[in-house]
């Protein structure tokens, strides 16, 4: 099947439910002087380009944890242009609603071509699915005086612009676009309503385990850039960093991420967020996105938002951290995110008097980083937001991993047969739950209603588990524990 676009033709491959087109460039290659520039229009080509295999991935630092890399491997496909996207369509002559998925990875790793993000099931159910690669780490988010900021965020905007212009050629409806993301991808999704250049490019949004709270001030972003330059022995400019070999830049990026988030260097005691992330620069991102959304930005955009019950279980049980988490470590890690750690720990222990230090660590960190921000944003948009909680817990790691970060992804995409993440979910992941969750996402993309009431004043949340059901205010503890505190 061939499709003709403004940049040239693309030949796709048949799937069990339509057609796929992979590795389609939505912007020019970010190389040379374009490496730290805003994304540029894709280069036209003659004839029909092969789009039957995934394209190049953007160049990123390797995962800092070998355990996480083994469980959730990032595909690495070398090539000249990682700014490409993948499309699954039921019918190139149709007019189906569109889902655009932005992957996670802490704005430092990940790829839209991860096999668990295969969109065949969405196409089967009448949705055109699109997954996106965007620039990450220093190339995407480091703040330099001689470069446009928020390059990775602008890449996502460029992909959405491409979808608006070209998706009709692939059987999609540009007037019915839902942008969806997980983890850092969800943070990007929740930031987009505050980005003027993204206005009108999407009509609904889905946020999985990420919100609008994860951005840097210019001052904090300059600190990151200065540390990166010091690690490299260069000036803190795009020109100087661009002259550094790629592997050395990646090693330095990982070193800086480790140093700034480890808590061991007193200079960065208050540095508790992601090292590379969007920057409130006053232009591309004029104001804090959470404040913008609570003040009406994106008011007409329907929102499906949620979190997993034990987000931080991913970083504790599989890595062996749980065996090393003493009361002293629990206090030290809690002290990094709130000024009164003893009171915070006591508040959580009151509700779970028999919980171990590792279990309290998972709950406190999960609530701080993800659950409490999710509750706040859902409450702020309560009449237009549908909320969910993913609560299915596998038996892996003696049941200690819980409903952890990333666990819901293959349920959403209906890709439980894919090996990605299978070490977390084991062999007993219920297909019926994947059927239910995938159907809810399809319904929201198609109709704007996943099948349960809006969050509302009562705090309605749909809990996905065995069994599933609608519950009221499951995030009360997180809300109360973090009330009045900055997240």
Which CATH number does the domain housing residue 383 bear? 3.40.50.1820
Q: What is the DSSP code string of 378-393?
A: HHHTTTTEEEEEE---
User: Within a domain: residue 235?
Assistant: no
DSSP 422-472: HHHHTT---HHHHHHHHHHHHHHHHHS--SS---TTTTEEEEESSS-EEEE
Which of 203, 214, 250, 405 is catalytic? The answer is 405
State the Cα–Cα distance between residues 110 and 118, nearest whole angstrom.
14
**311 a catalytic residue:** yes
Catalytic residue among 20, 183, 366, 468: 183
CA atoms within 13 A on the CB side of 104: 23
Q: Which of 212, 247, 266 is the last residue of a domain?
A: 212
- Residues 317 and 439 both lie in one domain: yes
Coil vs helix vs strand at 40: coil
Residue 102, SS3? strand
Question: How remote is the C-alpha of 16 from its chain's centroid?
Answer: 28
Q: Which domain holds residue 22?
A: 2-58+85-212
For the whole model, what pTM was predicted? 0.97
Per-residue confidence of the chain (487 residues) as pLDDT tens digits? 899 999 999 999 999 999 999 999 999 999 999 999 999 999 999 999 999 999 999 989 988 889 999 999 999 999 989 999 999 999 999 999 999 999 999 999 999 999 999 999 999 999 999 999 999 999 999 999 999 999 999 999 999 999 999 999 999 999 999 999 999 999 999 999 999 999 999 999 999 999 999 999 999 999 999 999 999 999 999 999 999 999 999 999 999 999 998 878 877 776 777 999 999 999 999 999 999 999 999 999 999 999 999 999 999 999 999 889 999 999 999 999 999 999 999 999 999 999 999 999 999 999 999 999 999 999 999 999 999 999 999 999 999 999 999 999 999 999 999 999 999 999 999 999 999 999 999 999 999 999 999 999 999 999 999 999 999 999 999 999 999 988 8
Is 183 among the catalytic positions? yes
List helix spans (H) across 243-295. Answer: 246-261, 289-294
- Write out the two tokens for 180: 């969806």
Residues 206 and 333 in one domain: no
CB distance 387 to 305 below 8 Å: yes
- Asked whether residue 237 is domain-assigned, the answer is no
d(C-alpha 238, C-alpha 236), whole Å: 7
Task: Name the domain count of the chain.
Answer: 2
Catalytic residue among 311, 359, 375, 408: 311
* Same domain, yes or no: 19 and 133: yes
* Residues in the chain, total: 487
- Are 433 and 323 members of one domain? yes
User: Is 405 labeled as catalytic in the residue annotation?
Assistant: yes
For 333, other C-beta atoms within 10 Å of its C-beta total: 17
Residue at which a domain ends, from 212, 245, 271: 212
Does 77 map to a domain?
Answer: no
> Measured between alpha carbons, how far is 157 from 85 in angstroms, rounded to an integer?
13
Q: In what order do the strands lie in the sheet with 385-390?
A: 13-15, 18-25, 84-89, 128-132, 96-102, 172-182, 204-208, 302-308, 385-390, 460-464, 469-472
Q: Does some domain include residue 316?
A: yes
Query: Within this chain, do residues 197 and 322 fall inside the same structural domain, yes or no?
Result: no
């Amino acid at each position: 099947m061939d499709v003709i676009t403004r940049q040239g033709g693309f030949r796709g491959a048949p799937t069990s439910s339509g057609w796929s087109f992979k590795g389609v460039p939505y912007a020019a290659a970010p190389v040379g002087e374009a490496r730290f520039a805003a994304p540029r229009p894709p280069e036209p080509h003659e004839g029909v380009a092969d789009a039957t295999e995934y394209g190049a991935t953007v160049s990123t630092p390797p995962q800092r944890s070998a355990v996480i890399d083994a469980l959730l491997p990032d595909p690495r496909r070398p090539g000249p242009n990682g700014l490409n996207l993948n499309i699954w369509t039921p019918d190139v002559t149709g007019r189906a609603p569109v889902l655009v998925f932005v992957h996670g990875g802490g704005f430092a790793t990940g790829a839209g071509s991860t096999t668990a993000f295969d969109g065949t099931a969405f196409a089967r159910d009448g949705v055109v699915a699109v997954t996106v690669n965007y620039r990450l780490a220093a190339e995407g988010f480091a703040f330099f005086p001689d470069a446009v900021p928020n390059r990775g965020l602008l890449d996502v905007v460029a992909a959405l612009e491409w979808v608006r212009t070209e998706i009709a050629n692939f059987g999609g409806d540009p007037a019915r676009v839902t942008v969806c993301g997980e983890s850092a991808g969800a943070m990007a999704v929740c930031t987009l309503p505050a980005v003027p250049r993204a206005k009108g490019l999407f009509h609904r949004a889905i946020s999985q385990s990420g919100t609008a709270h994860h951005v840097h001030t210019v001052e904090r972003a300059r600190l990151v850039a200065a540390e990166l330059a010091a690690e490299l022995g260069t000036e803190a400019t795009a020109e100087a960093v661009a002259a550094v070999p790629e592997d050395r830049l990646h090693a330095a990026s990982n070193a800086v991420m480790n140093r700034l988030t480890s808590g061991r260097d007193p200079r960065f005691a208050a540095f508790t967020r992601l090292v590379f992330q969007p920057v409130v620069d006053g232009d591309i991102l004029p104001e804090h996105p959470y404040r913008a959304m609570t003040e009406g930005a994106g008011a007409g955009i329907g929102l499906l938002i949620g979190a997993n019950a034990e987000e931080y279980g991913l970083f504790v049980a599989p890595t062996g951290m749980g065996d090393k988490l003493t009361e002293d470590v629990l206090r030290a890690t809690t002290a990094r995110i709130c000024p009164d750690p003893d009171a915070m720990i006591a508040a959580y222990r009151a509700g779970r008097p028999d919980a171990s230090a590792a279990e309290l660590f998972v709950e406190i960190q999960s609530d701080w980083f993800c659950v409490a921000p999710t509750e706040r944003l859902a409450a702020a948009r309560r009449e237009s937001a549908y909320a969910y909680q993913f609560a299915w817990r596998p038996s892996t790691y003696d049941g200690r991993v819980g409903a952890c970060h990333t666990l819901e992804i293959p349920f959403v995409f209906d890709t439980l047969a894919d090996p990605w993440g299978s070490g977390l979910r084991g062999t007993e992941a219920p297909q019926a739950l994947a059927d239910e969750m995938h159907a809810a996402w399809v319904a929201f993309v198609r109709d704007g209603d996943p099948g349960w009431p809006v969050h509302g004043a009562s705090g309605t949340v749909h809990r996905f588990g065995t069994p599933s059901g609608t519950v009221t205010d499951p995030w009360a503890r997180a809300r109360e524990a973090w009330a009045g505190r900055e997240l």
